[in-house]
């Protein structure tokens, strides 16, 4: 009887174990960050930014293989050369990890401003909501803009608006953030006794 495919959460946890085993500084971004900040989402990829160098590649390949992925040394090296992501298929499911080296300013910012989020019983380094909102505005698809709006509305009372506005300005989306701020209106007060869901 064939093994049961891994769930998305199991793939995320396996990727986190691999990155920890390889001792590579990293942060989860994209769809999983959207889910972590309270918005339901379906996705087939686990997006990660990692601060790795040429010498880290063998440890990364070994750690991902041990966790049931099919990594490629050549792909890791190509990613370092051109700054794009490498796709690491999961051998036990239809999901995959898209791992990008932290070589660009926005990627370095994601690692520097990460937060630790308890997600599905595991502590994960996650791009903060401010970073996630700004990068969704940068990418600008209909889904990205919807994600940005929902995360903004849900987390507004907790956002570091000054830092987020500065990062948005640096990324060239300061006007888009001002529009988003105007559309969402003032933050809504929480009802007494209602617990925050992270």
Given a contact cutoff of 8 angstroms between Cβ atoms, the answer to whether 48 and 27 are in contact is: yes
Residue-level pLDDT at 12 = 96
Average pLDDT over residues 176-189: 71
Distance CA 15, CA 3 (A): 19
Average pLDDT over residues 14-34: 96
Residues 132, 102 within the same domain: no
Encoded tokens for 16: 């986190």
Mean pLDDT of the chain: 89
Residue-level pLDDT at 188 = 44
Which CATH number does the domain housing residue 54 bear?
3.30.460
Residues 155, 94 within the same domain: no
Domain contains 191: no
Encoded tokens for 108: 């370095």
Residues 24, 80 within the same domain: yes
What residue numbers bound the domain in which 6 lies? 1-127
Residue-level pLDDT at 170 = 95
Domain boundary among 108, 127, 146: 127
Domain contains 20: yes
Residue 28 or residue 197, greater confidence? 28
Residue 36 or residue 13, greater confidence? 13
- The domain tally of the chain equals 2
List pLDDT tens digits, range 55-68: 999 999 999 999 99
Encoded tokens for 197: 């869901």
Q: How many residues does the chain have?
A: 198
Classify residue 63 as exposed, middle or buried by CB count within 10 Å of its CB (0-12, 13-18, 19+).
buried
pLDDT above 60 for 193: no
In 3D, which of 47, 15, 16 has the Cα closest to residue 31? 47
Residue 193 contacts by C-beta under 8 Å, 6 or more apart in sequence?
none
Domain contains 192: no
């Amino acid at each position: 009887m064939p093994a049961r495919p891994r769930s998305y959460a199991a793939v995320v946890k396996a990727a986190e174990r691999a990155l920890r085993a390889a001792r590579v500084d990293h942060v989860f971004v994209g769809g999983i960050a959207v889910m972590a900040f309270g918005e339901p989402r379906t996705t087939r990829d686990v997006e990660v930014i990692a601060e790795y160098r040429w010498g880290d590649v063998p440890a990364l390949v070994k750690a991902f293989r041990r966790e049931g992925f099919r990594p490629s040394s050549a792909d890791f090296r190509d990613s370092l050369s051109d700054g794009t992501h490498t796709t690491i298929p999961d051998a036990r499911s239809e999901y995959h990890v898209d791992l990008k080296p932290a070589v660009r300013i926005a990627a370095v910012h994601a690692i520097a401003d990460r937060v630790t989020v308890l997600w599905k019983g595991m502590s994960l380094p996650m791009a903060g909501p401010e970073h996630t909102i700004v990068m969704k505005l940068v990418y600008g698809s209909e889904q990205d803009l919807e994600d940005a709006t929902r995360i903004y509305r849900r987390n507004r009372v907790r956002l570091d608006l000054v830092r987020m506005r500065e990062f948005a300005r640096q990324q060239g989306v300061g006007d888009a953030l001002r529009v988003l701020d105007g559309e969402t209106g003032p933050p809504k007060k929480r009802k007494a006794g209602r617990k925050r869901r992270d």
